[in-house]
Structure 1
Amino acid sequence: MSEYDAIVLGAGAAGLLCAATAGQRGKRVLLLDHAPEPGRKIVISGGGRCNFTNIHTAPDRYLASNPHFAKSALSRYTPTDFLGLIEAYGIAWHEKTLGQLFCDGSARQVVAMLLEECAKGGVTLRCGEAIGAVDYADGRYRVEHGGQVASAPALVIATGGPSIPKMGATGFAYELARRFGLKVVQPRPALVPLTLPAEEALFRELSGVSTEIVARASGSKAAFREAALFTHRGLSGPAVLQISSYWKRGDTVTAQFVPDRPEGWLRAAKRERPRQSFRKAMGEGLPERLADALCARLGLEGEIGTLTDKALGAAEARLARWPFVPDGSEGFAKAEVTVGGIDTAELSSKTMEARKCPGLYAVGEAVDVTGWLGGYNFQWAWASARAAGMAI
């Protein structure tokens, strides 16, 4: 049996930084992953350029049963801290919209950086080895891996959630947590395209059309102004992916089309150009196919001057909160992350250690903390990993 100070399960973003942090503090660390190579989700993230953090990171950009839980870790390891590491390795980066930071080159540079950090800490990395039995006795956790057994007084669950199963993602973190008596908040897909029922076929025929909207979901105060994309199955694009994290089955998603229009804009168009067609007035600023579909649904036609102010006011109101009732999502296969996970009530917000299981830690996506689209989930991975790595 091999003995270590800590065993980290999962060589993704959180597991790599946690292992490196503990290793550089002089701890003997074993990092295990069943995938053939480390950092697989990092490699595909951000279109292969890794949206590694967001400069606007704040606790209110995260969903969790306890909205205060993430504050401690996020305040102690910030986007500036991680950016300092990126720059120390000479990795060129750029800021996109809404505070999103990306590598100029390849996401593989981030993986290489984290592996070098692990090497500096003397971390033993084993990939492509199935994890067998995990148990606890006499103050030590025992882990079977690849026909061997390792033990340590500290065990870190960093195996993520079930999103993107083709990358090897599973619900292993939840099984392990339950085995040690920790509660799990029911996981569901997040940052995921939504599907529309057959009666919305008019919109499903707009596949490939994109437009800026403000997306909202009933039962939530969240609102996101970004692009929406119509697909052959329903709705996608950044605005929809964002609101999907707040959406629950049965909720209505509303789209505010042409969000810059002032109140009364159609009635003003009637006064200014009464001979203009309603379709032309309504469709300004919208893709042609989408304008046609909306016009058909509104059932208004002819010159705008022939329509009553009441009818135009109703059209404005509908365009400002156009309702869709999705019948589902595209599931974990297309979800970027997971809402839910190991209950934060079970963990210390300062160290990420389980309150009732000394030496057991959970970090990253395995925990019930889910960020917005745009680098927030990576920042949670870094911050929670750092918190645990400093505490081991």
Structure 2
Amino acid sequence: MTPLHGHEPYDAIVLGAGAAGLFCAATAGQRGKRVLLLDHAEQPGKKILISGGGRCNFTNVDTAPDRYLSSNAHFAKSALSRYRPADFIEMVEAYGIAWHEKTLGQLFCDGSARQIVAMLLEECAKGDVELVCGEALGEIGHADGLYRVDFGERSARAKALVIATGGPSIPKMGATGFAYDLARKFGLKVVQPRPALVPLTLPGEEALFRDLSGVSTEVIARAGRAAFREAALFTHRGLSGPSILQISSYWKRGDTVTTQFLPDRGEGWLRDLKRERPRTTLRKVLSEGLPERLADVLCEKLGLTGELGAMTDKALAAAEARLARWPFLPDGSEGFAKAEVTAGGIDTAGLSSKTMEAGKVPGLFAIGEAVDVTGWLGGYNFQWAWASARAAGLAI
């Protein structure tokens, strides 16, 4: 292996030129640190470019620690409190990038996600970060207080090594479990990774709902103690849409997911309608608040036909109860191929919440999606990337 720029070591080598890696390298570089940023992909920020439908949902103004899943619910608090959405927004605006807020605090570029990547690359340039893309990583070791990384036909050494290679979600973008293998090599534990923010699949007995592929409606989806009110989408394989993606991060195999159809209807609404409009049908009532195809299927599943006036209050109360907590028993998810992020990852028990440095391996840092911190849908994972990257970049 040919040493890069002779034998002089870098202050840090950052592995992974995604959101966390770019921002960490820029932060350290602008503090005068000599930083090498490596990525096996041909270009930096590939997942940033496809995020938010190409407009990059770059943060969420409602960011709070309780919007994150981790084996240690308190771990994310320190980094998130020291680098807030307003801090990133300030940088975005300094670059003249126009943005807008969608529902639930989600911020998007008016233009393109390419603006965010260009901004991060300019921030790296300001810090004289050396960026090398398109080179496969080889051996990585540690000796005499220095980390050595082989890549392509070259090698480099540094006092610090930052793992920012993400998780295995969206493998077609080049994502792998590399971060976990490297962490284990240095003695760090890994919380079992699993797909998160991912569509759920339904078994064959739910085939009737597959006929609804493409139909969407607002629901409250629940699994365990978690509940999300957003749209649910029926697919040819099962359930998707924002509410389902959110609940998937909390769902475990064998758990039931319940959906509350017509979430604004109060208790007794069907019995009230029976008295107000006895000649109307349940199908007619449901189709006033739901897509017609969905109303048809729900009526068929409920087994209630005819006029409301001909139905007993007990039958209508039972229909209300089922519509309020309609059970689905998924048989799985669509896996890492369709997962927006990975839950689990490098165990936070081995990391400093203030610096993201490994407690027992000086100079080794882990940030972003590689770590066992997973945010809700809607810009939370980007904010974790910025916050954890900033924490590490300031500590290198």
Aligned-residue offset at 1:51: 0.3
Q: Which aligned runs of 4 or more in structure 1 are off by greater than 3 angstroms?
A: none
TM-superposition CA deviations, 1:82-104 (whole Å, max 9, x none): 00010010001111111100000
State whether structure 2 residue 68 is matched by structure 1 residue 62.
yes
CA distance in structure 1 between the aligned counterparts of 2:288 and 2:100, rounded to whole angstroms: 33
TM-superposition CA deviations, 1:46-71 (whole Å, max 9, x none): 00000000000000000000010000
CA distance in structure 2 between the aligned counterparts of 1:267 and 1:284, rounded to whole angstroms: 16
CA distance in structure 2 between the aligned counterparts of 1:4 and 1:146, rounded to whole angstroms: 18
194, 202, 211: which one pairs with 2:217? 211
CA distance in structure 1 between the aligned counterparts of 2:30 and 2:281, rounded to whole angstroms: 69
Correspondence for 1:320: 324
State whether structure 2 residue 300 is matched by structure 1 residue 296.
yes
Gaps of 5+ in 1: none
* Secondary structure of the corresponding residue to residue 22 of structure 2: helix
1:11-90 equivalences under 5 Å are 11-90=17-96
TM-superposition CA deviations, 1:149-186 (whole Å, max 9, x none): 10011000000000000000000000000000100000
Aligned-residue offset at 1:342: 0.2
CA distance in structure 1 between the aligned counterparts of 2:360 and 2:322, rounded to whole angstroms: 52
CA distance in structure 1 between the aligned counterparts of 2:286 and 2:141, rounded to whole angstroms: 64
Correspondence for 1:370: 374
Aligned-residue offset at 1:275: 1.2
Aligned-residue offset at 1:281: 2.2
Normalised to the residue count of structure 2, the TM-score between the two structures is: 0.98
CA distance in structure 1 between the aligned counterparts of 2:51 and 2:250, rounded to whole angstroms: 22
127, 137, 140: which one pairs with 1:131? 137
CA distance in structure 2 between the aligned counterparts of 1:46 and 1:250, rounded to whole angstroms: 31
Correspondence for 1:114: 120
CA distance in structure 2 between the aligned counterparts of 1:116 and 1:283, rounded to whole angstroms: 52
Correspondence for 2:284: 280
Structure 1 contact 266–282 (Cα < 8 Å) conserved: no
TM-superposition CA deviations, 1:226-256 (whole Å, max 9, x none): 0010000000000100000001111100000
State whether structure 2 residue 192 is matched by structure 1 residue 182.
no
CA distance in structure 1 between the aligned counterparts of 2:138 and 2:93, rounded to whole angstroms: 38
Q: How many pairs align?
A: 390
Aligned-residue offset at 1:284: 2.3
TM-superposition CA deviations, 1:81-134 (whole Å, max 9, x none): 000010010001111111100000010000000000000001000000000000
1:334-353 equivalences under 5 Å are 334-353=338-357
State whether structure 2 residue 236 is matched by structure 1 residue 232.
yes
Structure 1 contact 190–339 (Cα < 8 Å) conserved: yes
> What is the root-mean-square deviation in Å for CA atoms of aligned residues?
0.6
TM-superposition CA deviations, 1:186-212 (whole Å, max 9, x none): 000000000000000000110010000
Specify the code of the residue in structure 2 equivalent to 1:163: S
Correspondence for 1:263: 267
CA distance in structure 2 between the aligned counterparts of 1:21 and 1:146, rounded to whole angstroms: 26
Correspondence for 2:360: 356
Gaps of 5+ in 2: none
1:160-171 equivalences under 5 Å are 160-171=166-177
State whether structure 2 residue 104 is matched by structure 1 residue 98.
yes
CA distance in structure 1 between the aligned counterparts of 2:159 and 2:333, rounded to whole angstroms: 41
Specify the code of the residue in structure 2 equivalent to 1:101: L
Aligned-residue offset at 1:259: 0.2
CA distance in structure 2 between the aligned counterparts of 1:4 and 1:188, rounded to whole angstroms: 34
369, 379, 383: which one pairs with 1:379? 383
Normalised to the residue count of structure 1, the TM-score between the two structures is: 0.99
Specify the code of the residue in structure 2 equivalent to 1:91: I
CA distance in structure 2 between the aligned counterparts of 1:343 and 1:311, rounded to whole angstroms: 50
Aligned-residue offset at 1:280: 1.3
Structure 1 contact 253–323 (Cα < 8 Å) conserved: yes
State whether structure 2 residue 160 is matched by structure 1 residue 140.
no
CA distance in structure 2 between the aligned counterparts of 1:87 and 1:390, rounded to whole angstroms: 22
* Secondary structure of the corresponding residue to residue 248 of structure 1: coil
- Give the percent of matched residue pairs that are identical in Structure 1 and Structure 2: 82
CA distance in structure 2 between the aligned counterparts of 1:81 and 1:281, rounded to whole angstroms: 48
